[in-house]
Chain A
Amino acid sequence: MVQERVLPATPTTRATVTREEGLMLYEDMVLGRLFEDKCAEMYYRGKMFGFVHLYNGQEAVSTGVIRALRRDANDYVASTYRDHVHALSAGVPAREVMSELFGKVTGCSKGRGGSMHLFSEPHRLLGGYAFVSEGIPVATGVAFQSKYRREAMNDPSSDGVTVCFFGDGAANNGQFFECLNMAALWKLPVIYVIENNKWAIGMAHERATSVPEIYKKGPAFGMPGVEVDGMDVLAVRGVAQEAIARARAGEGPTVIEALTYRFRGHSLADPDELRAKEEKEVWSKRDPITRLADHLLGEGLVKAEELKEIDRRIQEHVNDAVKFALDSPEPDPKDLYKYIFAED
């Protein structure tokens, strides 16, 4: 089955970027890509276990949205089990993410979480949520918290925005609709970013959803819904900036549906035999990293050698993360019960 709907019905305004911003976006996407490639390698070499869901192909969404947030202030990110790259974009060091995947105590979740449960309070990463859709209420509650501090605790500095990522499959779950209702009702500073990669494991989106245009569900609840080319980081950044500004100004939530595709199987355990070859080809030609590189080169903002140099540097950075993870200690068995309660 080849699924249509590659581009949005109406084009959105793309962000314009300076050379610095362009390089920042490029680096972030390359980090996401090379990190995931390394994960596949390590998984097949038996260094990591369990379900590992890679993000290859979808980098423009993570980078486009998260790198439009304020990194050092009170903005928050919630993710799913496909969370490595969201964590990296949010600023969690590659070393800590890789260590977590190796189950080491130096991991961002101290080896207790694993691939699907990356958390980092200092980076305001609210977590990888392994049950489909369960992160949506949590993120909505964090957005409520920002509003509560501002209005019930008179703290004007509480102007944080929470971004909640999930898939097309998750958007069929009741928690999505329940939260759209409450977020709009209370004008919460939250952005629901649906990464529509057309598939929920082996369930084609059109076979699961009566109205496949997920962005249309925003207006049904009284909030804007935007459809964006999820393979174009500048397009994603453009709509994200608008939604963030709206949320921060107290104007309420937004639904963003990013049309995207995963270049690999659902997880590293998935043989990926169901998706049509033609479909994969259409999408692999739309690689978001090549797309940004072409743009930056075309605009004369960077030189090809500079990008090559970045690729090389990031590869080293990823290799360093692996070395760090390999050299890191396992959690101490006597700490088995640590972290169950707040006091331990």
Chain B
Amino acid sequence: MAETIFFNALREATDEEMARDPRVLVMGEDVGHYGGSYKVTKDLYKKYGDLRLLDTPIAENSFTGMAVGAAMTGLRPIVEGMNMGFLLLAFNQISNNAGMLRYTSGGNFTIPMVIRGPGGVGRQLGAEHSQRLEAYFQAVPGLKIVACSTPYNAKGLLKSAIRDNNPVLFFEHVLLYNLKEDLPDEEYLLPLDKAEMVRSGEDITILTYSRMRHHVMQAVKTLEKEGIDPEVIDLISLKPLDMATIAASVRKTHRVLIVEECMKTGGIAAELTAQIIEQCFDDLDAPPVRLSSQDIPTPYNGILENLTIVQPAQIVEATKKLLDNRI
């Protein structure tokens, strides 16, 4: 066991996979000599050279399209979005070509690529640098969407994403890069399509992902003191949703609270709610409740920003309210 900081967990995953498979490369802005905007690829160019840590010009749509071409012809590129929001400029290449090309080509080509980087709302970064693209991309067929939340799952999931033969959108969070955790010394991989049981409980199912997992766990401390026993599930896979794990939990608790950082309209929770209602309606004792960010561009002002995203106190309150009308 070694205590590892989040960005180094991602770096180790990248390093191990690059050492294992010469077809794996990283491309993006400042991934080489600068080491990545959050140090995920620091000094890897010294070990693997400039072609495998390809510093690209600031041309998101084109270098993402290049990664698609390289993946179609047998390489396994990892595209780093310096900030995931910048990949709005690559929306076309990600949806038309990474996502749909395998299907459109009738199976002629596969696209084994990872698109990863920092997403989410940081600290007063302003609206453009506080995007939650997972919600925008969830409708694209052919993409897998994963969000990591701890150094442990970040490492195991990134390694699996790199080995997966499909395009994987891999979301990290700007405010989690400095989390620390003891990681196993031996190699491990984690499945991309399985939710993570964070805390097993009986009273209510709280579904969350990425940084909001940590807000939820803060709230859980308060709830525990009040004798409430929530089950907390980190979705990990935002597409496809691990409905087997989720449905099993709903069967046990009969109540669902979803806590997310993306906006309410068309968010991950919106889709999740629809699926829970479709698949678990008879198990529900109350309508599922969503706690999402406000439907506004994230304001710069710190007070307004805190009002925009979900805070632990709101999670406590919403949980208690859901449990209040228990029969």
Interface of A with B (CB < 8 Å)? 76, 107-113, 117, 119-121, 126-127, 129, 131, 134, 136-145, 147-148, 151-153, 174-175, 178-179, 181-182, 185, 338-343
Contact = CB atoms under 8 A, between A and B. Distances in A.
Nearest to A74: B73
Given A134-B93, A145-B70, A112 B65 contact: no
Most B-side CB within 10 Å, residue of A141, A145, A153, A181:
A141
B57 A138 contact: no
B57 A182 contact: yes
B110 to A, nearest CB: 4
Interface string B205-230: 00000000000000000000000000
A119 B106 CA distance: 8
A182 B104 contact: no
B140 to A, nearest CB: 11
Given A136-B65, A138-B69, A342 B108 contact: no
Most B-side CB within 10 Å, residue of A113, A127, A137, A147:
A137
A254 B70 CA distance: 20
A45 to B, nearest CB: 25
B105 A119 contact: yes
A342 B112 contact: yes
Contacts of B110: 342
Interface string B72-107: 111100000000000000001100110001111111
A225 to B, nearest CB: 19
A134 B75 contact: no
Nearest to A100: B106
B10 interface: no
Contacts of B175: none
Nearest to A164: B69
Contact of A109 (B73, B97, B106): B106
Contact of B142 (A145, A178, A338, A341): A341
Contact of A137 (B93, B103, B104, B105): B93
B65 A175 contact: yes
Interface stretch (B48-56, B271-279, B300-308): B48-56
Interface of B: 22-23, 25, 49, 51-52, 56-57, 59, 61-75, 92-93, 96-97, 101-110, 112, 141-142, 164-166
Contacts of B72: 126, 138, 141-142
A147 B73 CA distance: 12
A137 B65 contact: yes
Contacts of A113: 104-106
27 contacts: A76-B73, A119-B105, A119-B106, A126-B69, A127-B101, A127-B109, A129-B97, A134-B93, A136-B65, A137-B66, A137-B68, A138-B65, A138-B97, A139-B69, A141-B72, A142-B72, A145-B73, A145-B74, A152-B49, A152-B51, A153-B23, A174-B62, A178-B57, A338-B107, A342-B102, A342-B164, A342-B165
Contacts of B75: 145, 148
B153 to A, nearest CB: 22
